[in-house]
Amino acid sequence: MLAALALFVLPPLEVKASWSGLIRRGEPALEAFERLQTTFGMGERLVMLVEAEPPLAIDTALDLAKALKERPEIAGLAAPVPGVDLPGVQSEDRSKAALYLEIDRAWSSPAKVTALARELRAIPTPEGVRVSMGGSVMEEVALADVVLADQQRIVPLVFLGLMIVIALFLRSVRVALVVAVGLGVTFLITLGAHGLLYGPLTTVTSLLTPIVMTIACANAMHFVARWRRGRRDDGTIRPGTLKSAINTCLLASVTTATGFLALFVMGAPEFDRLAVLGSGGCITAGVVLSALLPVLLPWAEKRPGGTRVPFQGLVDIGIRQVRRRGKMAVLLVLALIVAGTGMTRLETSTVLLDQFPESSDMPRIAQVLAEDLGGIGVADVLWYSPAGFRSEAGLARLREAGKQIEAAIPDVGPVLNAGTAVERMRQEAEVTETAALALYESGGLGKLPRLLDPDGTEARIMVWLPPGSTEGFLTNVRRIEAALGDIAGPEDRVQPSGAPYLISLSTDALVRDQAFACILSILIVSLIAAVVFGSIGVLPLIWVPNLLPLVAMAGLMGWVGEPLSASTAVVGSVVFGLIVDDTLHFLVCLKEARGERQSAARTLARLGPAFLATSVLLVTGAAIAGLGNAGPTALFSRLMAVGVGLALLCDLYLTPRLAARLRLWHAKG
């Protein structure tokens, strides 16, 4: 019934991209950004990159600027100035020029901006001139298109790959069909809930589709393996087996869900959605499988079947290590710790630019703006002063602020505010400063962004900053604040804002937030395990084999130079919630085997094939999803595959040895 209802609320096959959903709630810079949009009329920004042989590029950019000033969609325009070398708008060899367009709010929807960009690109230009369109809104639209294409192409491949692996490992097409039914119901309910609550998928919540499918299949694999171990020769199930299989499946679903729930600490709307729907999808998978598999498995398992284990030798090595107290566990711990030292090399990156495939033109445009034109990020700073700026003294303070900023930041691009704009107009029109201010506010001398609020007490300062890392951008913004602080009055307020600043703030917080989310996930899972097993003695077995893979995974990211971004920010807590499932299955089986000789080794012998099968299943699903062109999904999936692979080594060679060492339930090697 729920699946049928979900069909009516499924989101349309559409993907949205929005960096604003990645900003923490209550951020003062976000409130300032809203004032920029409402009070100052700031809309989306486009960058028009003109490339040609000098001086054709500059001449074409100037001609385009004249034409664009007449268009009602353009609220503001920054362009090259004849005879003046300005970083950020033209290259030193004058072969490249950039026009920075601020779109009027009435035309600022992604669809309208995309249509406008096509119109602007189609404006006739001289032969040999290349015109490209960039900017955050273009990046969002382009990324959404890539993610949508992946959803249409990769998700069916993930589903097909998972079904093939299940059929091969369980040696039963019927069982694969049963799992497919459970997977389909889970898929419909999860996406239906997304459509009902939030509408279309976003570039972040699109991660849900392959993740939930893979998690559901892994749970099904464990359920079927446990079902087969408890089945008699006549096909009936031993008492307690079904109840134990259902309880373990639900427990694994709950612990996996905690990895998603911990994302609430990220504090951003996009991560809140992922937390709600990811945890709901995991629990839905557990409930659906627990309800369907006991009903359908007797039909699918008319003849006794077994689990195909191509890598049984790996399990046998682990069993020998437990029985003979081998040193492989120690060597594995040392290797993972050494890999984890790469965490010191981790850096953060922008949210969108690193997420495009090589075929996209967006990274090239960003690189040209950064390396050839010397500026990519525009910082908007709001300066409130009760004394006001609509006077000669106020405009002089703004001009002084521009000089202070230029002195504080090496290689800074243009600094635009009402003072500098009025001064330029006064010189060009040869009028008084009061007349120039009136001309500026009426738009009589060209089209500039609104730089003063209606009552003149708050000024907007736009600074084209030199390229660099996230930390470098934030450092330059702090220099701007310090420069303004030297001339601001005691009652003045200075608040940086703007899209690049907000994105940099969000990216800079990823390390702290990811660590906090991981810690919260670990604490919740530890509490659940201590309550379920009635002992805090299980906690070392929860922590050691599941934290080491995360440390090694983060270290490997540092060694290969993979920066932290929005997609990698969620991988820690989600992967922990996923890989801890095998540890819980081991603990359940170990507790049931108490009193047996060599119980740790016997437990590994029983569960080893299932560990291998589920790990291969998870790695297969993640590897196929990692083939996509969309950076967020592909990068997350590849990291998930690495984390699951490292966790498998711990499950085989560290967990049983540690259990025997701790003598849980009198376990022995």
SS3 assignment for 298-331: HHHCCCCCCCCCCCHHHHHHHHHHHHHCCCHHHH
The pLDDT tens digits for 446-496 are 455 678 888 889 999 988 887 666 778 888 999 999 999 989 989 999 999
Angle at 106 between CA 103 and CA 107, to 5 degrees: 50
CB of 484 closer than 8 Å to CB of 393: no
- The values of phi and psi at residue 578, to 5°, are -80, -50
CB of 179 closer than 8 Å to CB of 217: yes
pLDDT at 360: 65
- For residue 8, is pLDDT > 60? no
Rounded Cα distance between 231 and 237, Å, is 4
What's the token pair of residue 77? 């325009």
What's the token pair of residue 40? 């100052």
24 DSSP 8-state letter: P
- For residue 10, is pLDDT > 50? no
The pLDDT tens digits for 402-436 are 999 999 988 787 788 888 887 777 776 666 666 66
Overall average pLDDT of the 97-113 stretch: 78
pLDDT class for 20, splitting at 50, 70, 90? Answer: low
Report the interhelical angle of 631-653 vs 136-170 (nearest 10°). Answer: 40
HSE-up of 571 (CA within 13 Å, CB side)?
A: 28
pLDDT class for 600, splitting at 50, 70, 90? Answer: confident
- For residue 384, is pLDDT > 90? yes
Question: Nearest-CA neighbor of 425 among 405, 447, 409?
Answer: 447
- For residue 15, is pLDDT > 60? no
450 DSSP 8-state letter: -
pLDDT at 13: 43
Longest Cα–Cα distance of the chain, Å, equals 102
Question: Nearest-CA neighbor of 218 among 573, 580, 613?
Answer: 613
The pLDDT tens digits for 332-371 are 888 888 887 887 777 666 544 455 555 567 677 777 776 6
Strands of the sheet containing 377-384, edge to edge, are 415-416, 458-465, 377-384, 493-497
- For residue 7, is pLDDT > 60? no
pLDDT at 445: 44
pLDDT at 669: 58
pLDDT at 397: 92
pLDDT at 428: 66
HSE-up of 237 (CA within 13 Å, CB side)?
A: 18
pLDDT at 19: 62
Question: Nearest-CA neighbor of 477 among 499, 456, 492?
Answer: 499
| Residue that is written with structure tokens 């907007």 in the block | 460
> DSSP for 619-660?
HHHHHHHTTSS-HHHHHHHHHHHHHHHHHHHHHHHTHHHHHH
- CB neighbours of 500 closer than 8 A, spacing ≥ 6? 136, 376, 377, 378, 379, 465, 473
Mean pLDDT of the chain: 80
Q: Write the single-letter amino acid at 584.
A: L
- For residue 86, is pLDDT > 90? no
Region of 661 (left: φ > 0; alpha: ψ -120 to 50; beta: rest) is: alpha
pLDDT at 3: 43
pLDDT at 477: 92
Task: Find how far residue 225's CA is from the centre of its chain.
Answer: 34
Rounded Cα distance between 321 and 604, Å, is 11
pLDDT: which is higher, 235 or 442: 235
pLDDT class for 203, splitting at 50, 70, 90? Answer: confident
Long-range contacts of 181-184 (CB under 8 A, 24+ apart): 181/292, 181/296, 182/216, 182/220, 182/285, 182/288, 182/289, 182/292, 182/293, 183/159, 183/213, 183/216, 183/217, 183/220, 184/3
Percentage of the chain lying above the pLDDT 70 cut: 82
Rounded Cα distance between 347 and 604, Å, is 39
Percentage of the chain lying above the pLDDT 90 cut: 14
Rounded Cα distance between 373 and 366, Å, is 10
| Residue that is written with structure tokens 């009329």 in the block | 41
Rounded Cα distance between 571 and 626, Å, is 14
Question: Nearest-CA neighbor of 215 among 154, 288, 309?
Answer: 288
For the chain, what's the residue count? Answer: 669
pLDDT class for 386, splitting at 50, 70, 90? Answer: very high
Question: Nearest-CA neighbor of 321 among 666, 651, 552, 665?
Answer: 651
Question: Nearest-CA neighbor of 152 among 301, 15, 319, 314?
Answer: 15
HSE-up of 37 (CA within 13 Å, CB side)?
A: 16
pLDDT at 459: 92
Question: Nearest-CA neighbor of 130 among 317, 463, 365?
Answer: 365
Please tell me the pTM assigned to this model.
Answer: 0.78
Angle at 63 between CA 59 and CA 69, to 5 degrees: 145
pLDDT at 449: 67
- The values of phi and psi at residue 486, to 5°, are -70, -25
| Residue 379 burial by Cβ neighbours in a 10 Å radius (0-12, 13-18, 19+) | buried
pLDDT: which is higher, 664 or 441: 664
Strands of the sheet containing 130-134, edge to edge, are 74-78, 96-103, 45-51, 130-134
CB of 452 closer than 8 Å to CB of 458: yes
pLDDT at 626: 84
| Residue that is written with structure tokens 């119901």 in the block | 185
Question: Nearest-CA neighbor of 611 among 579, 639, 641?
Answer: 579
pLDDT at 491: 92
pLDDT: which is higher, 148 or 284: 284
Which range, of 327-341, 418-432, 540-554, 638-652, averages the lowest pLDDT? Answer: 418-432
| Residue that is written with structure tokens 């010191």 in the block | 344
Rounded Cα distance between 205 and 15, Å, is 9
- For residue 308, is pLDDT > 70? no
pLDDT: which is higher, 8 or 202: 202
The pLDDT tens digits for 209-258 are 888 888 888 889 888 888 888 776 666 677 778 888 888 889 889 988 98
Overall average pLDDT of the 275-304 stretch: 86
Which range, of 4-8, 15-19, 225-229, 327-331, averages the lowest pLDDT? Answer: 4-8
Task: Report the SS3 class of residue 580.
Answer: helix
Which range, of 17-21, 186-190, 566-570, 655-659, averages the lowest pLDDT? Answer: 17-21
- CB neighbours of 461 closer than 8 A, spacing ≥ 6? 380, 381, 382, 383, 398, 401, 402, 405, 415, 416, 417, 451, 480, 484
pLDDT: which is higher, 424 or 573: 573
pLDDT at 11: 45
The pLDDT tens digits for 163-186 are 998 888 888 888 899 999 998 888
pLDDT at 431: 62
Q: Write the single-letter amino acid at 421.
A: A
